[in-house]
Structure 1
Amino acid sequence: MQAIVVTPVKDALEASLETIRAIKQSHGTFAYWVFDDFSTKATKAALMAAQREMHFQLVHLDDLTTDPSPNYDKVLVRAQKEALKTGLPLIIVESDVTVQPGTLEQLVSFAAAHPNTGLVGAITQDEQANVNFPYLKFKQEKGKGAVQTDRSLSFCCTLLSNRFLARYDFSLLDLDKDWYDTHISHKARELGFDNYILMDLPVLHRPHGSRPWKQLKYSNPLIYYFKKWVLGKDKI
């Protein structure tokens, strides 16, 4: 076993199934967990059918909590426990990302060759191989290979090393937040670890495909920011 791999899912069924299928076709041996975060009954049924077909661990978060989605903190705490129990790194692949067959193995190999790694992420691209959200800030680095960075990484397709996981308890995460990639990126640096983005390891990313309502940020920003500021959604 090379790593624990997790994917949080909130509906967006077609994209989620594409993510799952690509991970299951990856080179190497991985323990794969899919966390269903209060999806519809139709999505839950489809995930259960996919589990029977493709053989991954499926956790329905509504069996564990009554807290409304998003429950990223619950995913991270459970995934960290599995990683520490096995002594393996943790790879998060979100459900709007499609990995290549060698992506996961290359993340593991890079972290093994750089033992002070905290986080290492694969660069996100669109269908035309252009660097896209959330890594537009790195687009000038294209072609440079591994780039060490103080800037935050996203959890689109990112490995968290076991050494870092052993140093920072995810049960301490701020439960008033929805997303934790920025905080955890900075915490790794604070603890003395190195973070990297791999410019030569692209994954296909369809931004916000895992949370379609966030597309409002581009199509109707007034409604998006109403949801963000008044309704308290999307807290980073």
Structure 2
Amino acid sequence: MSFGRILSEVADREKRVIVYAPDDSGGELADVLATRNLTVDQRRLPALSSEAFVVVRDDGEFQGALSLEDLLEFLTPPIRRPEELDSLARKHRVVYELLDDTVFVSLDRRQLLATSRELEDRAWRTGRGRLHVGFQRADAFAAQTAVYRELATTDIDIHLYVPGGVSGDPLADTPVTVHTENGDRGRYWFILFDDGERGAQNCALIARETEGGRYRGLWTYDADLVAEAFDAVE
């Protein structure tokens, strides 16, 4: 199994998003989600009803609901300072859970960094298991060393993959293992977490840069899919 194969398999699945709104605002969401394997339908609400909301169904089964405003805020966010990303990830946690296992083809680095924070926070709160993280460039690794120095204080077995290695490893005094021979893995931004127990906290992000700073990939909380991603790395 490879990362490319995992992305192809997930691309064959489809979820259904139903927008309930008193106007045609569902059309905006359809445009934003046009690059995902999602079907977007709209149901008209009475004009005096409450704010528009979105329902997500997978194989006909109800998965959850959230406000249209929150979903659009995540999918088309304004430029945010780095210190705001942690609060963004917490606020949009429901978005990650509802849209997992859907392939995206046009997210930018800000959105992926916010998603990464959600997965790293899940690992931090669990405090055990294994965490494998791949960086496409050494400068991306250098910018995140403080995050992984903090995670290294837990009982998590942490492996970081940096193409070409790093000069003067800033994590050399921690139990973190840095890998420099990455092969095909070096083309992907990935975060894989296994909680070491029943898999309730397992999660993964796999993304590959396409052009113009945009990325194609997925995030998932499916334990079997996370296991496949670990097999692709190990």
The structure that has the greater radius of gyration is: 2
Which has the larger strand fraction?
2
Q: Report 1 or 2 for greater relative contact order, CA contacts < 8 Å, sequence distance ≥ 6.
A: 1
Q: Same fold (TM over 0.5)?
A: no
Please give the range of the TM-score, normalised by the shorter of the 2 chains: under 0.3
TM-score under structure 1 length normalisation: 0.27
